[in-house]
Amino acid sequence: MAVIVQKFGGTSVADLDRIRAVANRVAATLREGHQVAVVVSAMAGVTNQLVTWVRDAHADCDTREYDAVVSTGEQVTTGLLALALNNLGIPARSWLGWQLPIDTDGAHGRARITAIETAELRRGLESGAVQVVAGFQGRSADNRVTTLGRGGSDITAVALAAALRAERCDIYTDVDGVYTSDPRIVAKARKLDKITYEEMLEMASLGAKVLHTRSVELAMKHNVRLQVLSSFNDEPGTLVVDEDEIVEQELVSGITYSRDEAKITLVRVPDRPGIAASIFGPLSDAEVNVDMIVQNVSEDGKATDLTFTVAKGDLKAAVAVVEVHKGELGYAALVPDPNVVKVSVIGVGMRSHAGVAKTMFETMAAKGINIQVISTSEIKISVLIAEEYTELALRALHSAYGLDSA
């Protein structure tokens, strides 16, 4: 009998009525003759509340205690869903990360799953009982509770599907699939029937939060058949597939945005060999990830402006690191700017077609939007623009690439 893993996000388990609706969905899948393992998130808003309490309790907290608190939202929903299933006469039990266990490394707040013990789960599944597993959490080698990073229940679901060799991993959320752009911002966004792993990976890492980036990575690595669909209706969802399963490939499949960006410009940096290493070396030592970089050509051969981006949460740390090294770097001024957004167009069709970048730049120009930094890879182009233009840029690009729904 095939195992199906079903994951329900925060809005899908936001209250008891919705949890009852989830139980009905699980019951229907059982009736189709499947064994069902369910992964749940905390009720919508609960994890945010827990994070706020931790931050209010201690400005620079022990991350092990952060995880002890922030992981608790999922404990409530696993138990409530098991009870809702029992109410339908279906045997079910809840599992916390440490009980299985789901082993992780010790990187609290962003732990990685290293192994999942499935023997007892399998026994439970084979007895016909639904196994309800808490998303987002695990156990470190020194027996502490860990969390996988915000939105991490998707990772639990895919990792569990891989460990159980499940037939499919269905991610139920508040939209009925992966759209060409965030449907909350681009009203004309279209639902995709299928998207390649590679494109989904880029879309997730460039801001489309419908799936966690690492869940897509894992699905790709372990060949997990991944589907995104709505827990509120029965519309067909989006399947994440290999490239050869897509017959007609669009030039551009998706347009994303990420507000989690901040820009730092160093004015008049000496234009000499080694300067980039002396800026980005210390940032990397401080575990600050630098994303986009642009260095202007120096007119006099002596000094140049250098701009780079970091995650918004790293801005303070990045500024501090660069300021500590001001003496040796010898720049004239440091200008931080958190009011930026990264807009990206993604599509495997770009590999074989020219002109995608041209359309992007012309569209921005036509709307009078200044492009501050550009970066490209084989299947994506990203531009950094002022945050106030996010909606305008997304909608204009969506039309320009012919993605608008009728």
Q: Which two tokens stand for residue 55?
A: 């931050």
Q: Is 173 a residue that touches ligand ADP (CB under 6 A)?
A: yes
Residue 279: alpha-carbon gap to chain centroid: 28
Residue 168: alpha-carbon gap to chain centroid: 20
Angle at 238 between CA 236 and CA 242, to 5 degrees: 135
> C-beta of 145: minimal distance to Mg ion in Å?
20
385 binds, among Mg ion, ligand ADP, ligand ASP, none (CB under 5 to 8 A by kind): none
Q: Which two tokens stand for residue 158?
A: 């895919």
Interface contacts to ligand ASP, rule CB under 6 A: 9-10, 41-42, 47, 73, 135-136, 150-153
Total residues at the site for Mg ion (CB under 5 A)? 2
Q: Is 179 a residue that touches ligand ADP (CB under 6 A)?
A: yes
> C-beta of 44: minimal distance to ligand ASP in Å?
8
Of residues 79, 77, 73, 74, the one with CA closest to residue 94: 79
Q: Is 188 a residue that touches ligand ADP (CB under 6 A)?
A: no
First-to-last C-alpha distance (Å) of the chain? 42
- Residues 228-257 as x/- pattern, contact with ligand ADP by CB under 6 A: --------------------------x---
> C-beta of 106: minimal distance to Mg ion in Å?
24
Q: Provide the residue type at 306 as one letter.
A: L
Q: Is 210 a residue that touches ligand ADP (CB under 6 A)?
A: yes
Among the listed ranges 5-13, 93-101, 215-223, 357-365, the one in contact with ligand ADP (CB under 6 A) is: 5-13
Q: Is 151 a residue that touches Mg ion (CB under 5 A)?
A: yes
Q: Which residue is nearest to ligand ADP (CB)?
A: 9
If phi > 0 it is left, if psi is from -120 to 50 it is alpha, else beta; for residue 165 that is left
Q: Which two tokens stand for residue 379?
A: 């299947």
* Cβ-based neighbours of 88, under 8 Å, separated by 6 or more: 23, 24, 27
List residues bridging with 258 in a β-sheet: 342
> C-beta of 136: minimal distance to ligand ADP in Å?
10
Total residues at the site for ligand ADP (CB under 6 A)? 19
Among the listed ranges 78-86, 109-117, 178-186, 268-276, the one in contact with ligand ADP (CB under 6 A) is: 178-186
Task: Give the span between the Cα atoms of 287 and 214, in whole angstroms.
Answer: 19
Q: Is 135 a residue that touches Mg ion (CB under 5 A)?
A: no
Instruction: Write out the H or E segment, with its range, that includes residue 307.
Output: strand 303-310
Q: Which two tokens stand for residue 357?
A: 């970048």
Binding site for ligand ADP (CB under 6 A): 9-12, 41, 151, 173-175, 178-179, 181-184, 208-210, 254
Binding site for Mg ion (CB under 5 A): 9, 151
